Amino acid sequence: MSACRVAGKEIAYEDVILNDSSVLSRQWVMLPRSYSDVLTAELLVESYLAFIKRCTLSIVHPVTKGGTVSFNLLGSSLALLTFRGPEYSGECLLRSASLRIDGGFLVQRSECGRGMLSFAVSTLEEGVVVTIQVSDYCPLLLGGRRPSRVLSWVYRHTQAMVHRLITIRFLAHICRTLESGRQP
C-alpha cells in the first residue's frame, strides 16, 4: 500500500499483478462522516464517467447504451473497455456499484467477461471511506497468463499508471467538490 496527499486528504492506493496475471488496483480516501448522506454509489459512477471525459479532454468518451458502458477512443466506435452494468447494492453503511468488464481493445480476448470496476461508499464510526477498485482484470498489455518481466514493466508504467493517476485525481476532485459545498 502507498499513499499520496492530494486536496488536503491522504489518498491510499495499491496495484498488484496477481499470480494468475489478473490485476487488482484499489484507491481509497477517508472523508468526514458528515458526507455519508451525500455520497452514493450512483453519484460516484455518474461523476466518474463525467470526470473521465473531462480529464482526458474527450480522448476517452464514456458511452452509456442499453445496460452497457464503454470507454470509446476519440468519440469513435473503438471501445477501449466495455462494461455491463452498473449493478447497485447495499444498505446505509455500505453502498456499492459494480461494472463487469465485458471486453474492449485493452482486454485479453480470452478473458472478456472477467473483471470488475467497483465503487463503494463505506460508513464507519471514524468517517466515510470511498473506494474505487479494479479486480480480476486481465489487460491485453500483459499478453496472457504468464507475462514476461518486460510486459509486466510496460503495463505498470503505462496503463496501470494512467489508471492510478486518473482515479487519484477523481478522488481528489470528489474531496474538493464536497469541501466547497457543491454536489460532485
What does the pLDDT look like over 146-169, one tens digit per residue? Answer: 889 999 999 999 999 999 999 999
pLDDT category at 144 given cuts 50, 70, 90 is confident
pLDDT digits (tens, 9 = 90+) for 18-56: 988 899 999 999 999 999 889 999 999 999 999 999 999
CATH code for position 76: 3.30.530
Residue 152 exposure: Cα atoms within 13 Å on the Cβ side = 14
pLDDT digits (tens, 9 = 90+) for 70-112: 999 998 999 999 999 899 998 878 999 999 999 999 999 888 8
178-181: Cβ within 8 A, 24+ apart = 178/31, 178/35, 178/38, 178/39, 179/7, 179/8
Helix axes 159-179, 149-156, angle to 10 degrees: 20
Look up residue 69 and give its amino acid: V
124 part of a folded domain: yes
pLDDT at 175 over 80: yes
| Residue 174 confidence (pLDDT) | 94
Handedness of CA 18, 20, 22, 26 (dihedral sign): negative
74 part of a folded domain: yes
| Closest listed residue to residue 140, CA positions, set 27, 18, 21, 16 | 21
What span, in angstroms and rounded, lies between the C-alpha atoms of 26 and 133? 4
pTM summary value: 0.91
Name the residue range of residue 95's domain. Answer: 2-179
109 part of a folded domain: yes
184 part of a folded domain: no
The total number of structural domains in the chain stands at 1
Q: What's the chain's Rg over C-alpha atoms?
A: 16
Helix (H) or strand (E) holding 87: strand 79-90
| Residue 82 confidence (pLDDT) | 96
pLDDT category at 7 given cuts 50, 70, 90 is low
